[in-house]
Amino acid sequence: MNDDFAQNLRSLVGYYKSVAEVCRRIGINRSQFNKYLSGTSRPSRHVLQKICDFFGVEEFEIYLPHAQFVPIIKVRSPGSDQAGGGRPYVRFVDELLRHSRPELSRYAGYYFEYYYSMAHPGLILRSLLHLSYDNGLASYERIEHLGRAERGERAVRCKYRGLAFYLSDRIFLVDYEALTGNEMTQTILFPSYKNRVTRLSGLKLGLSSGSHREPLCARTVLDALGARINLRMALRGCGLFEETASAIDDDIRDSIVNTVGPGAYHFLAAPQ
């Protein structure tokens, strides 16, 4: 078994005080992690993504020949004091995490997100969002299929990755388009005051498609699917829908209509 991965992983861990600290912060079993360090086992795709996200490296980078990998991490210096000084945004994120409320953990799970597409005006976009909560860090991935779901059209796929924060009774989502790196979006949601999280509503800020790339704002609704789902079936349900499509519930359709009443000076979210 090629041991570049194990060597690279040991180099990354070397920037931290101990293996135990790394395992605690990633949220991974230490005995299993030791197998990765020794080269006797490889992580699953899900665990690999958590490891790479923690150390700030890409999945393909961690499998590079060790001689190529070392110069990369020397520049980034993950986990070191120098890294924090050279990358002040790390401190900013840590500051937000200290203020973010731990109740965000109850929102972990899968959601269908609905809003009027910014790239295809007049059509409703249903995407799949997965929110994870590990050791005080809430991260999420959102997948969009820009094709007519009911027509079975071949869809353009977009993948967004981001962080979530619960600040002063509002939930903030900030992400970037991971496949192209050319867009960020921000969503602000009302929390749920029910015993069981069902739907969350708020506003999303993003960009239109095309050369103009106008900033746009749209009402959005997240419909909870649960902690465990049939992922393949859920992804098949993603896509673009006509306004009158039977697949869209009437109350969701009503909640995402983008209208501004007479005398209004701001575009407001519609609370559920």
Does the pLDDT value for residue 271 go beyond 60? no
The answer to whether residue 261 sits within a structural domain is no
Model confidence pLDDT, tens digit, residues 33-79: 999 999 999 999 889 988 988 888 888 889 989 888 888 777 666 65
Q: What is the DSSP string of 153-205?
A: PPPEEEEEEEEEEEETTEEEEEEEETTT---EEEEEEPPP-SSS--EEEEEEE
pLDDT of the residue at 142:
95
In this structure, the answer to whether residues 57 and 21 fall within a common structural domain is yes
* 144 vs 125: CA distance, rounded Å: 8
In this structure, the answer to whether residues 68 and 189 fall within a common structural domain is no
In this structure, the answer to whether residues 60 and 190 fall within a common structural domain is no
pLDDT of the residue at 106:
94
In this structure, the answer to whether residues 75 and 147 fall within a common structural domain is no
In this structure, the answer to whether residues 69 and 115 fall within a common structural domain is no
Q: 64, 96, 58: which is closest to 78 by C-alpha?
A: 58
Q: Which domain holds residue 240?
A: 102-255
Supply 53's token pair.
């996200």
pLDDT of the residue at 80:
52
Does the pLDDT value for residue 26 go beyond 80? yes
In this structure, the answer to whether residues 144 and 61 fall within a common structural domain is no
pTM above 0.75, yes or no: no
The answer to whether residue 33 sits within a structural domain is yes
Number of domain units in the chain:
2
Q: 125, 147, 144: which is closest to 243 by C-alpha?
A: 125
Look up residue 148 and give its DSSP letter. Answer: B
In this structure, the answer to whether residues 157 and 222 fall within a common structural domain is yes
The answer to whether residue 263 sits within a structural domain is no
**Which of 86, 115, 132 corresponds to the end of one domain?**
86
Model confidence pLDDT, tens digit, residues 208-267: 766 677 888 999 999 999 999 999 999 999 999 999 999 999 999 999 998 877 776 677
In this structure, the answer to whether residues 152 and 224 fall within a common structural domain is yes
Residue 1 binned pLDDT confidence (cut-offs 50, 70, 90)? very low
**Which residue has tokens 């007049």?**
122
Helices and strands, number each (H, E), in the chain: 10, 9
Query: What's the CATH code of the domain at 206?
Result: 2.40.128
